[in-house]
Amino acid sequence: MSRIQAADERQYLEEVFDQLGFTKENGQLLADTLVDADLRGISSHGIQRLAWYRRMIKDGTIVPSREPKVVRELPGTVLVDANQNMGQIAANLAMDKVIDKAKKVGVGIGVVKNSNHFGIAGYYARKALQAGLVGIALTNTRPLVVPTNAREAFLGSNAFAFGFPASPHPFMFDGATSTVAGGKIQLADKKGEKLPGQWIVDKDRQLVKDPKQAEGILQKAAFSEDQEGGGLLTLGGVDEENSNYKGMGNSIVVELLTGILAQGSISADTVRGKHDFSQFVFAFDPSFFGDPEQLKADATAMLDRIRQLDHVPGKTIWVPGDREYKYLAENKQRGVSIDDRTFEEIEEIGQELGVQVPAKI
């Protein structure tokens, strides 16, 4: 594990994306989404995705020269075709459109089809926040999650992000709808720790505690057509009596609003044929409902009351977004953390494309 300055990471990524054939504007956007994730401590969606993006360009899954297109519009809705370029570019366009709509008719929704990985969902919800709006972003993913009572993965880990104005930072809920995302298992593996709680099951729905076994299960579920069974659990864990069907419900809602509405692949089908993902973005103008400063103050007061509730000694009540903005402030000072394998990949790509690799600090 080492650290690099975020500014160096940004410069490196912009040059790499330029070399890979993206327009300057699109390259800057892609770099921004990855640096932003690393700054917020969401390393799983930061620069460590670069080698994968590189492979998808090499194999023709991603065509960097293409531009996303608006297929159809109404005053409140937009359908965007990512046109086989990165999800970030199309989702950014869709959210820009939706923000305009919300400013005119009060609300807007957009669906992105023929898309790919779009970084962290929170990035697009924050775009809405920056425009003074409330924002939501959803994406489907590869199949990683076993429904209630099922023994094979079918649903995606299907991210849900929601941002609402508050001080000193917005309420920012951003993560997989499953109990955990695959990244948490990789992290446990790197630390040599057993998996706690109820995160993942094998083909007999027995809890898996060994992170290497867990990674093997997820690798097969996500990237092959031969399911060997098992996968991540829905929120609610292994037992139906703890209402894990509600976690399944949340995940299916995302499938319906992404792969189904976009008429693209559902998560289960991203392992075969067309490797497309789909996204859904939503924004509305809170100032229609009340004075925006008052709404922000009311939200802040509620969140502060939650943080200060009587709680278990020695524990903290983290409101969604608190950890992320804490990392953001810290990492702006101390740089972003890069694991050794990712750093090797950065060096290889830099050498291949003639781009200077960020210095370790």
Q: How far apart are CA 140 and CA 273, in angstroms?
A: 16
Please, which of residues 47-86 interact with its own copies by CB under 8 A?
A: 72, 74-77, 79
Write down the least CB distance from residue 37 to its own copies, Å.
18
User: Quick one: 215 exposed, middle or buried, by C-beta within 10 A (0-12, 13-18, 19+)?
Assistant: middle
Is 21 a residue that touches its own copies (CB under 8 A)?
A: no
Please, which of residues 302-361 interact with its own copies by CB under 8 A?
A: 302-303, 305-306, 309-312, 315-320
If one counts every other C-beta atom within 10 angstroms of the C-beta of residue 179, the result is: 21
Amino acid making up residue 316: T
- Of the pair 51, 207, the CB lying nearest its own copies is at 207
Is 249 a residue that touches its own copies (CB under 8 A)?
A: yes
The number of C-alpha atoms within 13 Å of 226 and in the hemisphere containing its C-beta is: 2
Q: Judged by CB under 8 A, which stretch of 57-65, 145-153, 213-221, 333-341 contacts its own copies?
A: 145-153
Please name which of 134, 185, 163, 154 lies closest in space to residue 254, comparing C-alpha atoms. 154
Write down the least CB distance from residue 293 to its own copies, Å.
12
Q: How far apart are CA 264 and CA 267, in angstroms?
A: 9
Select the residue interacting with its own copies from 173, 277, 327, 343 (CB under 8 A): 173
CB-based burial, 242-251: b 16+ in 10 Å, e otherwise: eebeebbbbb
- Of the pair 268, 355, the CB lying nearest its own copies is at 268
CB-based burial, 117-141: b 16+ in 10 Å, e otherwise: bbbbbbbbbbbbbebbbbbbbbbbb
The phi, psi pair for 137, rounded to 5°, reads -140, 140
Write down the least CB distance from residue 324 to its own copies, Å.
12
- In Å, what is the CA distance from 117 to each residue of 25, 138, 168, 353? 18, 12, 30, 22
Do 145 and 154 meet the contact criterion of CB atoms below 8 Å apart?
A: yes
Is 44 a residue that touches its own copies (CB under 8 A)?
A: no
Q: How many residues bind its own copies (CB under 8 A)?
A: 87
Write down the least CB distance from residue 48 to its own copies, Å.
22
Select the residue interacting with its own copies from 22, 118, 124, 154 (CB under 8 A): 154
Q: Judged by CB under 8 A, which stretch of 29-37, 167-175, 210-218, 349-357 contacts its own copies?
A: 167-175
Select the residue interacting with its own copies from 3, 205, 209, 275 (CB under 8 A): 205
The site string for its own copies over 263-302 (x = CB under 8 A, - otherwise) reads x--x-x---------------xxx-xxx---xx--xx--x
- Of the pair 26, 178, the CB lying nearest its own copies is at 178
The phi, psi pair for 122, rounded to 5°, reads -60, -25
Do 355 and 6 meet the contact criterion of CB atoms below 8 Å apart?
A: no
Is 193 a residue that touches its own copies (CB under 8 A)?
A: no
Residue 74, token pair as written in the block:
């109404």
Select the residue interacting with its own copies from 17, 123, 171, 343 (CB under 8 A): 171
Write down the least CB distance from residue 157 to its own copies, Å.
12
- Of the pair 216, 249, the CB lying nearest its own copies is at 249
- Of the pair 64, 237, the CB lying nearest its own copies is at 237
Q: Judged by CB under 8 A, which stretch of 34-42, 168-176, 209-217, 328-336 contacts its own copies?
A: 168-176
Please name which of 161, 127, 142, 156 lies closest in space to residue 42, comparing C-alpha atoms. 161
Please, which of residues 93-132 interact with its own copies by CB under 8 A?
A: 101-102, 104-109, 111
Write down the least CB distance from residue 340 to its own copies, Å.
26
